[in-house]
Structure 1
Amino acid sequence: MPFGPLTDGEWLAARLGTPDLVVLDASVGGHRGTERRIPGARVFDIDGAFSDHASPLPHTMLGADAFTEEARALGIDDAGAVVVYDAAGIYSSARARWMFKAMGFDRVAVLDGGLPAWEAAGLPVESGRPLATGSWRRGDFTARPRPGLLVGSAEVTAALADPGSAVFDARTRERFAGTAPEPRPGLRGGHMPGSLNLPFGEVQAAGRMRSAPELREAFSGLAGGRERLYFSCGSGVTACVLALGAEIAGYDELSVYDGSWGEWGLPSDLPVATGA
Structure 2
Amino acid sequence: MTGPLVGIDWLEERLGAPGLVVFDASVGAHRGADHRIPGARPFDLDGALSDHDAAAPHTMPSAAAFTEAMRELGVDDTATVVVYDGVGIYSSARAWWMLRAMGFDRAAVLDGGLPAWTAAGLPVEATGPAYEGPRGSFTARPRPGSLVDGATVEAALTDPAVAVLDARTRERFAGTAPEPRPGLRGGHMPGAVNLPFGDLQDPAGRMRPAAELRDAFAAAAGARERLVLSCGSGVTACVLALGADLAGYGDLAVYDGSWSEWGVPSALPVVTGP
Root-mean-square deviation (CA, aligned residues, Å) is: 0.7
**Partner of residue 166 from structure 2, selected from 169, 179, 196:** 169
The CA distance in 1 between the partners of 2:157 and 2:166, in whole Å, is 12
Give 1:257's aligned amino acid. Answer: Y
3-state SS, counterpart of residue 130 of structure 2? coil
- What does the per-residue CA deviation read over 1:109-167, in whole Å, with 9 as the maximum and x for residues that have no partner? 0000000000111111112x323232x11100000000000000111111111101000
Residue 79 of structure 1 aligns with which residue? 78
The CA distance in 2 between the partners of 1:227 and 1:31, in whole Å, is 35
Residue 146 of structure 1 aligns with which residue? 143
Residue 190 of structure 1 aligns with which residue? 187
The reply to whether residue 99 of structure 1 matches residue 113 of structure 2 is: no
The reply to whether residue 272 of structure 1 matches residue 231 of structure 2 is: no
Shift of 1:32: 1.1
Residue 56 of structure 1 aligns with which residue? 55
The CA distance in 2 between the partners of 1:147 and 1:45, in whole Å, is 23
Residue 243 of structure 1 aligns with which residue? 241
The CA distance in 1 between the partners of 2:176 and 2:270, in whole Å, is 13
- What does the per-residue CA deviation read over 1:236-272, in whole Å, with 9 as the maximum and x for residues that have no partner? 0000000100000000000000000000000111100
Contact persistence 1:233–1:260 (CA under 8 A): yes
Residue 211 of structure 2 aligns with which residue? 213
Give 2:165's aligned amino acid. Answer: F
Contact persistence 1:203–1:215 (CA under 8 A): yes
The reply to whether residue 130 of structure 1 matches residue 131 of structure 2 is: no
Residue 24 of structure 2 aligns with which residue? 25
The CA distance in 2 between the partners of 1:57 and 1:34, in whole Å, is 25
Residue 69 of structure 1 aligns with which residue? 68
3-state SS, counterpart of residue 256 of structure 1? strand
Q: Structure 2: which 5+ residue stretches go unaligned?
A: none
3-state SS, counterpart of residue 98 of structure 1? helix
Shift of 1:18: 1.1
Give 2:43's aligned amino acid. Answer: F
The CA distance in 1 between the partners of 2:35 and 2:9, in whole Å, is 18
Q: In the comparison of the two structures, how many residue pairs are matched? A: 273
Shift of 1:89: 0.3
Residue 47 of structure 1 aligns with which residue? 46
Give 2:144's aligned amino acid. Answer: P
- What does the per-residue CA deviation read over 1:213-236, in whole Å, with 9 as the maximum and x for residues that have no partner? 000000001211000001000000
Shift of 1:33: 2.1
Shift of 1:34: 1.2
The CA distance in 2 between the partners of 1:14 and 1:188, in whole Å, is 47
The CA distance in 1 between the partners of 2:128 and 2:222, in whole Å, is 46
- What does the per-residue CA deviation read over 1:17-62, in whole Å, with 9 as the maximum and x for residues that have no partner? 1120100000000111211110000000000000001112100000
TM-score, length basis structure 1? 0.98
- What does the per-residue CA deviation read over 1:157-200, in whole Å, with 9 as the maximum and x for residues that have no partner? 11111101000000010100001110101100000001000111
Shift of 1:16: 1.0
Shift of 1:100: 0.2
Shift of 1:209: 0.2
Give 2:240's aligned amino acid. Answer: L
TM-score, length basis structure 2? 0.98
